[in-house]
Structure formats: C-alpha cells, structure tokens
Amino acid sequence: MSSVRRPKLGQHFLRDPRFSRRLEEAVQVEPGELILEIGPGRGGMTRRLASRAGRLVAVELDPALATSLEAEFQNEPRIEIVRGDILKTDLRALCERQGVKRCFVFGNLPYYITSPILLHLFAARASIRRMALLVQREVAERIAAAPGTREYGSLSVVAQCHAEPRIVLSIPPGAFSPPPNVYSALVDFRIVPRFPEWDEQTLEAFLAFVHRCFARKRKNLLNNLTAVYSRERATNALRAASVDQHARAEQLSPEQLARLFDLLR
C-alpha cells in the first residue's frame, strides 16, 4: 500500500518550484489587480500570485487546509483566506466587497469538478477580466479545440462563447503531490463574449441547442436535430445555413451553430 497521503477532495498539490515559477510567469495579472484563487491548497501559488496583485482572496473548501493557510498568512494584509465552496461563491458580491468591478481568477481545479466550476465562472463572467486555470490536459485540449478536430465538442463551444481560451503550459504528473495519472495544462481565458448582441436568455437557449447538436457524436447533425424538430424543418435550416446535411456538429464553428440556432428558433 502506498504511503502517500491521498487528498480528501481530489487535490493534487503542485510541489515542483520550477513549474510554480513558470505558472507565475504565465499568469497575466495587471498591477494592483484583485486575484481570486480557487483551492489554494497548501498555498504553493498564493504568495507568488499575491506579490503581483493588489490583493488576493483565496477560497478553500478543506477546513484543515484553510486553518493552515490562515495561520501562514495571518500577517499578510493583502491576502484573505475564505472558507467556502467556489460553486456557492458570489463573485459579484466578492468583487464589490473588495471595491472592484472585476477580478483575475486563478485555480488548480480538481479534475472531478472542473466542468461545474467552469460553468459557474462563465455565469459570473461580468465580474471576471481574465482567468488562468490548471486543468487535466485532455480537458484543456477540448476547451481550446478548433472545429473539425477530434477534441472539438460542446465544451469547446461553451468555453469559446464566453472567452478566448489558449493552452500556455503543460505540466507532468511528477510536478504534483500526489501525482495524478494524467498531464495537466494551464489554460488562459481572455473573457470576451463571442455574441455580445445576445441577452442572457438567448445565450442560455443557444447553449442548450449546442448540447442537443452534440448529443450523439456518432450521428450526423440532422439526426440529432430531428430529436427536437421535424425532419423537414431541420433540413431546411441546414440548407439555409449552407451546411451539408451529412455534416456532424463537430465540423461547425460557433458562428455556424449560431446561424443554425437563429434559423430554428
């Protein structure tokens, strides 16, 4: 049996100072900016990030880790440790309390809860200027994937509707304690709405439409659409959007999907 103590909440703590330094250099923080750190863990990046920011608020769910962090940073007025769940954290209220409109978000996200955290952050995008998130490399590749590639899917479209994501750094398992079974990657998200003319209700309807389009990846787009629309209506919409009737959803850009959505609503 391994003697390595497994984390309770799926954490893999970055322990290699070389990669900590490279992460710090890759994070594009503006001077004086508020940083929201998700899951600081043992604080490996907290002090590094705080040195480049006006103030840092770290949200930690694990009570034992939060207690340790509070003790370590009790004499650091620019660092605040908040005990809580990021999924229940109101980012707008947090920014208002700090006297700013938007913050920079950094996080080493637990693999099992990456998607819910991403969706929560995207929903709070008005309070975020930019994000740098460490995720499983396979997920990073899906987030940043281009249309027509194997990795491109509904997550790609969702992420790219809210931001311009790009992979800036890959990190091997051995840089973490305990080491995960996969590589990780840092994804930089510049928060830019892809369809700024849409209100929140329209955007939510579009994202639900996207999930329907990718519901069964082995089927072509027409077959996925006929689960909701008549075959005639779906066929006419594809023709009007200049999309081949045998095309799969992963071949369409977000703009092409948006055009199809407009034709069908």
Q: Look up residue 121 and give its two tokens.
A: 């952050």
Q: How many residues can be counted in the chain?
A: 265
Residue whose pair of structure tokens reads 């984390």 in the numeric block = 7
| Cβ neighbours of 141 (radius 10 Å) | 18
Which amino acid is it at 127?
Answer: S
| Cβ neighbours of 99 (radius 10 Å) | 9
Kind of pairing, strands 128-136 and 103-108? Answer: parallel
Could you read off the pLDDT tens digit of each residue along the chain, which spans 265 residues?
Answer: 333 333 455 578 899 999 999 999 999 999 899 999 999 999 989 999 999 888 999 999 999 999 999 999 999 999 999 999 999 999 999 999 999 999 999 999 988 899 999 999 999 999 999 999 999 999 999 999 999 999 999 999 999 999 999 999 999 999 999 999 999 999 999 999 999 999 999 999 999 999 999 998 778 999 999 999 999 999 999 999 999 999 999 999 999 999 999 999 9
Instruction: Give the chain's end-to-end CA distance (angstroms, integer).
Output: 57
**Residues near 146 by beta carbon (within 8 Å), at least 6 away in sequence:** 152
Q: Which residues on neighbouring strands pair with residue 13, listed in sequence order?
A: 177
Three-state SS for 56-97 is EEEEECCHHHHHHHHHHCCCCCCEEEEECCHHHCCHHHHHHH
**Cα 157 from chain centre:** 12
Residue whose pair of structure tokens reads 């330094």 in the numeric block = 21
Which domains, ranges and CATH numbers included, belong to the chain?
13-191 (3.40.50.150), 200-264 (1.10.8.100)
**Alpha-carbon span 70 to 59, nearest angstrom:** 11
Q: Which residues on neighbouring strands pair with residue 134, listed in sequence order?
A: 108, 186
